[in-house]
Amino acid sequence: MQPADVLATERISPVGKAASKKRVLEDVADLLATALGEPSSEQVFERLLERERLGSTGLSGGVALPHARMRGVEAARGAFLRLEQAVDFDAMDGQPVDLVFGLLVPEEATDEHLELLASLARVFSEPAFRSRLREAEADAAQILSIIAGKDETDANSGQGPGSVRLPA
Protein backbone atom coordinates (compact mmCIF):
# COMPACT_ATOMS: atom_id res chain seq x y z
CA MET A 1 0.00 0.00 0.00
CA GLN A 2 1.32 3.44 -0.88
CA PRO A 3 0.52 6.71 0.92
CA ALA A 4 -1.77 7.73 -1.95
CA ASP A 5 -4.06 4.91 -0.83
CA VAL A 6 -4.38 6.55 2.59
CA LEU A 7 -4.13 10.23 1.73
CA ALA A 8 -5.48 12.17 -1.24
CA THR A 9 -5.34 15.86 -2.16
CA GLU A 10 -9.01 16.40 -1.30
CA ARG A 11 -8.20 15.44 2.30
CA ILE A 12 -5.37 17.95 2.66
CA SER A 13 -5.89 21.47 4.00
CA PRO A 14 -2.68 23.46 3.55
CA VAL A 15 -4.03 26.64 5.23
CA GLY A 16 -6.06 25.51 8.21
CA LYS A 17 -7.62 28.30 10.24
CA ALA A 18 -8.57 26.36 13.38
CA ALA A 19 -7.72 28.20 16.60
CA SER A 20 -8.35 25.44 19.15
CA LYS A 21 -7.78 21.72 19.60
CA LYS A 22 -11.51 21.05 19.34
CA ARG A 23 -11.79 22.98 16.09
CA VAL A 24 -8.73 21.13 14.70
CA LEU A 25 -10.44 17.81 15.45
CA GLU A 26 -13.65 19.05 13.79
CA ASP A 27 -11.71 20.09 10.67
CA VAL A 28 -9.87 16.76 10.54
CA ALA A 29 -13.21 14.94 10.93
CA ASP A 30 -14.67 16.95 8.05
CA LEU A 31 -11.71 16.03 5.82
CA LEU A 32 -11.87 12.36 6.79
CA ALA A 33 -15.64 12.21 6.24
CA THR A 34 -15.26 13.46 2.66
CA ALA A 35 -13.57 10.15 1.91
CA LEU A 36 -16.31 8.07 3.43
CA GLY A 37 -19.82 9.36 2.93
CA GLU A 38 -20.74 7.29 5.97
CA PRO A 39 -19.99 7.71 8.81
CA SER A 40 -20.73 11.43 9.05
CA SER A 41 -18.20 14.05 10.05
CA GLU A 42 -20.00 14.35 13.42
CA GLN A 43 -19.54 10.63 14.05
CA VAL A 44 -15.88 10.81 13.04
CA PHE A 45 -15.40 13.83 15.31
CA GLU A 46 -16.92 11.94 18.25
CA ARG A 47 -14.54 9.00 17.72
CA LEU A 48 -11.52 11.30 17.44
CA LEU A 49 -12.63 13.14 20.58
CA GLU A 50 -13.15 9.84 22.44
CA ARG A 51 -9.60 8.80 21.58
CA GLU A 52 -8.23 12.20 22.56
CA ARG A 53 -9.84 11.89 25.98
CA LEU A 54 -7.69 8.80 26.61
CA GLY A 55 -4.56 10.93 26.15
CA SER A 56 -3.36 13.61 23.83
CA THR A 57 -2.26 12.58 20.35
CA GLY A 58 -0.01 15.64 20.28
CA LEU A 59 3.56 14.45 19.80
CA SER A 60 6.53 16.79 19.74
CA GLY A 61 7.88 19.19 17.15
CA GLY A 62 4.49 20.77 16.46
CA VAL A 63 2.85 17.51 15.32
CA ALA A 64 -0.40 15.78 16.28
CA LEU A 65 -1.67 12.42 15.03
CA PRO A 66 -5.33 12.20 16.04
CA HIS A 67 -6.65 8.76 15.16
CA ALA A 68 -9.45 6.32 15.76
CA ARG A 69 -10.79 2.93 14.78
CA MET A 70 -14.31 3.09 13.44
CA ARG A 71 -17.05 0.71 12.38
CA GLY A 72 -18.05 1.22 8.76
CA VAL A 73 -14.57 2.24 7.64
CA GLU A 74 -13.28 -0.33 5.15
CA ALA A 75 -9.69 0.90 4.67
CA ALA A 76 -7.30 3.27 6.41
CA ARG A 77 -7.98 6.91 5.52
CA GLY A 78 -5.84 9.90 6.36
CA ALA A 79 -6.26 13.65 6.33
CA PHE A 80 -3.62 16.34 6.73
CA LEU A 81 -4.09 19.83 8.10
CA ARG A 82 -1.35 22.47 8.15
CA LEU A 83 -2.37 25.29 10.45
CA GLU A 84 -1.61 28.95 9.83
CA GLN A 85 -1.28 29.45 13.59
CA ALA A 86 -0.15 26.68 15.92
CA VAL A 87 -2.64 25.66 18.63
CA ASP A 88 -2.29 24.12 22.07
CA PHE A 89 -2.80 20.37 21.67
CA ASP A 90 -1.46 19.15 25.02
CA ALA A 91 1.55 17.79 23.12
CA MET A 92 4.23 15.70 24.83
CA ASP A 93 6.76 18.54 24.58
CA GLY A 94 4.26 21.22 25.67
CA GLN A 95 4.65 23.05 22.36
CA PRO A 96 1.74 24.10 20.14
CA VAL A 97 0.86 22.05 17.06
CA ASP A 98 0.69 23.21 13.44
CA LEU A 99 0.99 19.89 11.53
CA VAL A 100 -1.89 17.46 12.01
CA PHE A 101 -2.28 14.06 10.36
CA GLY A 102 -5.65 12.49 11.17
CA LEU A 103 -6.23 8.80 10.65
CA LEU A 104 -9.24 6.48 10.63
CA VAL A 105 -8.88 2.74 10.33
CA PRO A 106 -11.37 -0.12 10.34
CA GLU A 107 -12.52 -1.11 13.80
CA GLU A 108 -10.88 -4.55 13.53
CA ALA A 109 -7.55 -3.31 12.07
CA THR A 110 -5.54 -3.13 15.28
CA ASP A 111 -2.17 -4.34 13.86
CA GLU A 112 -2.49 -2.20 10.74
CA HIS A 113 -3.50 0.76 12.90
CA LEU A 114 -0.45 0.42 15.14
CA GLU A 115 1.99 -0.12 12.24
CA LEU A 116 0.63 2.87 10.36
CA LEU A 117 0.73 5.10 13.45
CA ALA A 118 4.31 4.03 14.18
CA SER A 119 5.31 4.79 10.59
CA LEU A 120 3.64 8.21 10.72
CA ALA A 121 5.18 9.04 14.11
CA ARG A 122 8.61 8.04 12.81
CA VAL A 123 8.46 10.18 9.67
CA PHE A 124 6.89 13.17 11.45
CA SER A 125 9.67 13.04 14.05
CA GLU A 126 12.20 14.01 11.36
CA PRO A 127 12.92 17.78 11.59
CA ALA A 128 13.77 18.03 7.86
CA PHE A 129 10.46 16.42 6.92
CA ARG A 130 8.50 18.82 9.13
CA SER A 131 10.42 21.76 7.66
CA ARG A 132 9.55 20.70 4.10
CA LEU A 133 5.88 20.53 5.04
CA ARG A 134 5.99 23.95 6.70
CA GLU A 135 7.85 25.56 3.81
CA ALA A 136 5.69 24.03 1.05
CA GLU A 137 3.39 26.19 -1.00
CA ALA A 138 -0.27 26.23 0.00
CA ASP A 139 -0.79 23.44 -2.51
CA ALA A 140 -2.35 20.11 -1.54
CA ALA A 141 -0.62 18.27 -4.40
CA GLN A 142 2.82 19.47 -3.29
CA ILE A 143 2.09 18.50 0.32
CA LEU A 144 0.92 15.05 -0.80
CA SER A 145 4.13 14.68 -2.76
CA ILE A 146 6.19 15.51 0.33
CA ILE A 147 4.25 13.09 2.52
CA ALA A 148 4.49 10.37 -0.13
CA GLY A 149 8.26 10.94 -0.32
CA LYS A 150 8.25 11.95 -3.96
CA ASP A 151 9.83 15.36 -3.44
CA GLU A 152 13.26 13.95 -2.49
CA THR A 153 13.50 10.40 -3.78
CA ASP A 154 16.38 8.14 -2.81
CA ALA A 155 17.55 6.45 -6.02
CA ASN A 156 18.22 3.17 -4.23
CA SER A 157 14.91 2.64 -2.51
CA GLY A 158 12.43 4.70 -4.49
CA GLN A 159 11.42 6.26 -1.21
CA GLY A 160 12.36 9.72 -0.02
CA PRO A 161 13.51 10.50 3.49
CA GLY A 162 10.05 11.78 4.33
CA SER A 163 8.13 8.89 2.91
CA VAL A 164 5.66 6.90 4.90
CA ARG A 165 6.10 3.17 4.39
CA LEU A 166 2.70 1.73 5.00
CA PRO A 167 2.02 -1.92 5.75
CA ALA A 168 0.71 -4.03 2.87
Active site residue 113: no
CB-count exposure of residue 165 (10 Å: 0-12, 13-18, 19+): middle
Return d(Cα 161, Cα 27) in angstroms, integer.
28
Return d(Cα 14, Cα 142) in angstroms, integer.
10
Q: Which of 21, 67, 77, 132 is catalytic?
A: 67
Amino acid at 92: M
Helices (H), the chain: 3-6, 21-34, 41-54, 110-124, 127-135, 140-147
Q: Which residues form the catalytic set?
A: 67
